Amino acid sequence: MAMDATLLDPFSPQALADPYPVYRRLREQSPVHPVAPGRWIVSRHADVLALLRDPRCAHWGHAPELDALRSPHERALAQALRLFAPSDPPGALRRQMSAVFNTQVLERMPQRLAPLADRLLDGLGGHGGGGGLDGLDGLGEGRSRDVLAAYAHPLTMQAVGDMLGLSDAQTLALAQAMGGLDGSLFEGLRGAGIAAPASGPVARLQACMDALIDQAQDRPDALISGLHAAVDAQGPAADRRDRLLNALLVLVYAGHHNMLNFIGNGLLALAMHPQAQARLRQEPALADRAMLELLRHDSPLQYIVLVASEPLALHGREIARGDEVLVCTGSANRDETVFEDPDGLDFARANPMDSLSFGSGAWRCIGARLALRIGATAFSKIVARGFALPANMPALRRVRGALVQRGLAALPLMLLSQEEGRHG
């Protein structure tokens, strides 16, 4: 009897809700699995790690020879991603990003985010008394609200604004422009072959981005200003404005969507594992290890898309030059040969650094330390209060943006009273 093809399909509707049983079957039965002509999924931890470090593999966006085969949106995105490609020695933009992520922003991020988190959790924004980002929405004690819109979105937008060097007014304008989008942030990409919107949410987002680009000269030391020099060094001036906007979109997407999905996935995991939540509340010193474990358990980035620059042979499969290789970090992080009880949530795990949520080698996320610092602040504040899923919990809808992302469309949570939180 033939096997049901959906049992090994990580993109089926069932897998969108919960991909981890499919990943397990892939690791056991088809560790290098064809999902389309010229496209493969690699699911075992050892293989994912090896390919991330293999010089015969390039990141999808850093393979310009494929631009002719890409759609206009894909080509614009790939060109923007190449601005951030690692090199030896690192380029000027990469050096500036490293300095911003590891020193300036890293040190002040908790001080910037903690007061905003407190205001959001106090419910001030939801009662109309908040100004700035805390006026976007609110989360009140004893009632269920969408924690992504009410808490994670304002926090991550504050982090993005600080990362780019924006003023509070600029950050608020960007948050409001992004809030009007119905689809992906990448709908705002511009370039040859992409129709320019005359009006609507995408046009408003692009107008906001254009204003930020024009105002960057007021902050020559800010990361947004560094984009100007990087774009000028990349190519002709004719499409300079489009490439600047696209590069800014990539930075905003990385800083906002990835963190939004990290916080949403992590809060859901803690709500479904109340003992783990209680332990983190009672032992706040576990925060750093908890961030790594929450990322491992349900990573917002499920795949890193590579391109084979040479033919590869792996587990009896022949990967041709130019084939796309989706290394599945989401599966690698649940590999039972690496992690004991991989489906559990264990803040005392012996090998937390074996997680591949931030990639590895040249493709390790340059903002990893910053992401962990933002996460620690966001989680510690809400965990201290205590939270739970509402009794009349609606069905959760998962979204997978741009193929590789895993997140939630919304997450209703209910804050507990201080007494309930202490005994939770």
Confidence of residue 141 (pLDDT cuts 50, 70, 90): very low
Give the mean pLDDT of 92-120. Answer: 80
Q: For residues 356 and 50, is the Cβ–Cβ distance under 8 A? A: no
Domain ranges of the chain: 5-423
Q: For residues 374 and 368, is the Cβ–Cβ distance under 8 A? A: no
Q: For residues 262 and 294, is the Cβ–Cβ distance under 8 A? A: yes
pLDDT, greater one: 360 or 108: 360
In this prediction, residue 422 carries a pLDDT of 53
What secondary structure letter does DSSP report for 401? T
What's the token pair of residue 117? 């988190």
Distance separating alpha carbons of residues 307 and 50, to the nearest angstrom: 14
In this prediction, residue 292 carries a pLDDT of 97
Confidence of residue 364 (pLDDT cuts 50, 70, 90): confident
- Domain 5-423: CATH superfamily, name plus number: Cytochrome P450 (1.10.630.10)
Distance separating alpha carbons of residues 170 and 230, to the nearest angstrom: 22
Confidence of residue 139 (pLDDT cuts 50, 70, 90): very low
Q: Give pTM, 2 decimals.
A: 0.90
Give the mean pLDDT of 325-354. Answer: 96
**Arithmetic mean of pLDDT over the chain:** 86
pLDDT, greater one: 129 or 198: 198
Q: Of 305, 323, 306, which Cα lies nearest the Cα of 38?
A: 323
Spell out the SS3 assignment of 230-269: HHHHHCCCCCHHHHHHHHHHHHHHHHHHHHHHHHHHHHHH
Spell out the SS3 assignment of 142-165: CCEEEHHHHHHHHHHHHHHHHHHC
Over residues 241-271, the pLDDT tens digits come to 898 999 899 889 888 989 999 999 999 999 9
Q: What residues does 325 pair with on adjacent strands?
A: 40, 306
- Is it the case that residue 142 has pLDDT exceeding 90? no
Report the range out of 8-22, 34-48, 104-118 with the highest average pLDDT: 34-48
Q: What residues does 414 pair with on adjacent strands?
A: 144, 388
